[in-house]
Amino acid sequence: MIAMLSSLTYNFAVRSNMKSLNPTLWRTCKMLAGRKRVQLLRQLHDHPGSNVSELGDAVGIKRACASQELRRIQSRGLLKSQRQGRSLIYRLDPDPQVSSAAPLLKAIQTALHTLPARQDMDMCRLANGLAHPRRIAIVQALLESPQSTPALQLSLRMPTPSLLSHLHVLEQSGMIIRRHPDWVLSCPLHPLARTLIHLLRKSM
């Protein structure tokens, strides 16, 4: 019973912190944390109008796997498919029904256009930082002000082991840094990081 009440209290705190944030954002970040999916985004940027076989060959995965990964990207509103003969071709194009799709895709395309391919995996690392609703709640709390671990635990009502684990992931992603005794938002200069922070700030 105590565990259930604690869980309900935590869920309420997360919902309060997320406020008007589109609930798809952390799921989009979870999708972007996949290396093969980021490689597919690179191919779609460099070779728009490719079909699934071409894309799969380019990133070294089977056609069925490529099709599955492309569906995951499309489900987050970042690309569209079009029938051309017997093939489906894909292009990066934001879904207007997904509010975060246009700014995120613009950030992704900016990164792909301005940064070398060897830095593409930076997007995986940054996205992984926000690929969980608890980590989004932490970052939103730090957007208001730097906070110590005990302060975050008190405001978010998060179990200590879980909080420490999520703080570690966020630190590894480069989204936060430790300035004893507080945690502080890092705000990396990467286009994706800046857009994610902007979206979180707008939702508060």
Q: What domains appear along the chain, each with residue ranges and CATH number?
A: 2-202 (1.10.10.10)
Contact between 76 and 24 under an 8 Å Cβ cutoff? The reply is yes
Determine the average pLDDT of the residues in 129-134: 96
Determine the average pLDDT of the residues in 124-144: 97
pLDDT level of residue 23 (50, 70, 90 thresholds):
low
Q: Of 99, 172, 127, which Cα lies nearest the Cα of 35?
A: 127
pLDDT in tens, 26-78: 999 999 999 999 999 999 999 999 999 999 999 999 999 999 999 999 999 99
Phi, psi dihedral angles at 91 (to 5 degrees): -140, 145
